[in-house]
Amino acid sequence: MKRFLCVLFVACAIAALGFAQDFRFSGYMNYGLGLEATSNDNANYDARLRVAGVDSEQGGGRFRLNGSYSNEGKTAGADLRLQLQGTGTNWDSTHNLGLAYAYGWIKPVDFLTIKAGLVSDSTFETGGAILRDDAGGGAGAGLFIKLTPIEGLDIGVGAYPRSSDGGNNNNKIEDIATWGEWYKVKYTLGVAYTMPEVFKVSASFRSANDAGISSRNNGRVVGEVRLLMVKDLTAILELDVANIYSLAKKGDEFDATGTIGIFETFAYKMDDLSFGLNAAQYFSNGNNHDDMGLRLNPWVSYSLNEGKIVPRLDGVFFLGGDRHTTGGDAYKYDRRSDVVPTYNSDQWVLNVRPSVKINIDSRTSFEIGDVLYYRNPASGDGFVYNIFYVDLVVRF
């Protein structure tokens, strides 16, 4: 199977290179500084300055270079994303240079697309604010085939000996050669239907995988319903059912450790005023996971000076949740994944985040903000954690 996939990838790449006439580059850089302080007596610091990128949701920041090219008829091409990814939160953070994706593609007929290589495809990704399902139904080192038999309907199947997290995360080059046996490969099936200006519905299944990201090692189903009929309204409902099947235990895993997540994303824009509510409910069959996790994230923003200055206020209350650490006492402080479920109602987190985004131009922006956490652990006293940050995003 590996030989077949390698031959197919080479064929796609040769076809793309041989007919390429439209070669393009784009890029992205996100780095910032955060001043951290905490009242936690167990912390090993009083205050510290760390490097982090808010928009990239990573400690240490990120630099990204995208490349794409295709022939004049748009029937063959190739895409890649090279990333320098920070992995820590201190000044001496290590950085991994790797690929988010690198694949060739061919489109022999209008309704058929074939991708091979380190594939990324967004067709079956969901669009909510919290789930961040960037693995989609087409991510990994392998083969992806998409059919569009009628307008609006997409059907995708994939086989990935090496699993990955798709285009938003980094894959170390040295890890890509770690292949699984055929029966341990991640297989995917996705179906999506879009009625323009009315709705989109999608669902994707991913089988268990034993060669890749640990969170992808068990079977998973993800679905979405998205309303498109109201201008300036975002309304999305997502479902995530995970740990359906375990390769390690060679059988049903859902009754023992299965999880169900339900996610709602609502946002509305009225002239310069925007507001919304992101919510989630988490259920788990794991040991000592008796309680439902409930997350509420209301937010509001206002655009000033023709969108050049945008103040925003976020709040998060997570019952049965905890703060998201990236190592030691360090926190992620992006708006979507800064807290994680614990399925224990004795634990909860309250997070308030005022910020101001300054758009220098369409490609460059600063964000200045302050993240204030109060964490109530299951045992012991609660404590406050605060991050004042300045962040820079540059696109080219």
Tens digit of pLDDT per residue, the chain (396 long)? 444 444 445 445 545 444 445 678 999 899 888 888 888 777 776 788 887 777 655 667 888 999 999 998 889 999 998 888 776 655 555 667 778 888 999 999 999 999 998 888 889 988 898 886 655 556 778 899 999 999 999 999 998 877 665 555 555 444 544 555 666 677 889 999 999 999 999 999 888 766 555 455 578 899 999 999 999 999 999 999 988 876 666 666 788 889 999 999 999 999 999 999 999 999 999 888 989 999 999 999 999 999 999 999 999 999 999 877 655 555 667 776 678 899 999 999 999 999 999 999 999 999 999 999 899 988 878 889 888 999 999 999
Paired sense of beta strands 293-302 and 273-284, if any? antiparallel
| Cα–Cα distance measured from residue 347 to residue 226, given in angstroms and rounded to the nearest whole number | 32
Angle at 230 between CA 226 and CA 231, to 5 degrees: 110
- Write down the H helix ranges in 207-312: 254-257
328: helix, strand or coil: coil
Contact yes or no for 58/83 (Cβ under 8 A)? no
- Give 396: exposed, middle or buried? Use CB within 10 Å, 0-12, 13-18, 19+: exposed
19: helix, strand or coil: helix
CA-wise closest residue to 76 among 132, 149, 15: 15
Which residues lie closer than 8 Å to 301 by C-beta, 6 or more apart? 273, 274, 275, 310, 311, 312, 313
- Give 229: exposed, middle or buried? Use CB within 10 Å, 0-12, 13-18, 19+: exposed
| Cα–Cα distance measured from residue 255 to residue 232, given in angstroms and rounded to the nearest whole number | 41
| This prediction's pTM | 0.87
Total residues found in the chain within this entry: 396
Domains, the chain, in order of start with CATH, read 2-395 (2.40.160.10)
Paired sense of beta strands 218-227 and 199-206, if any? antiparallel
pLDDT for the residue numbered 79: 94
Beta bridge partners of 261: 240, 282
Helix, strand, coil % in the chain, rounded to nearest 5: 10, 60, 35
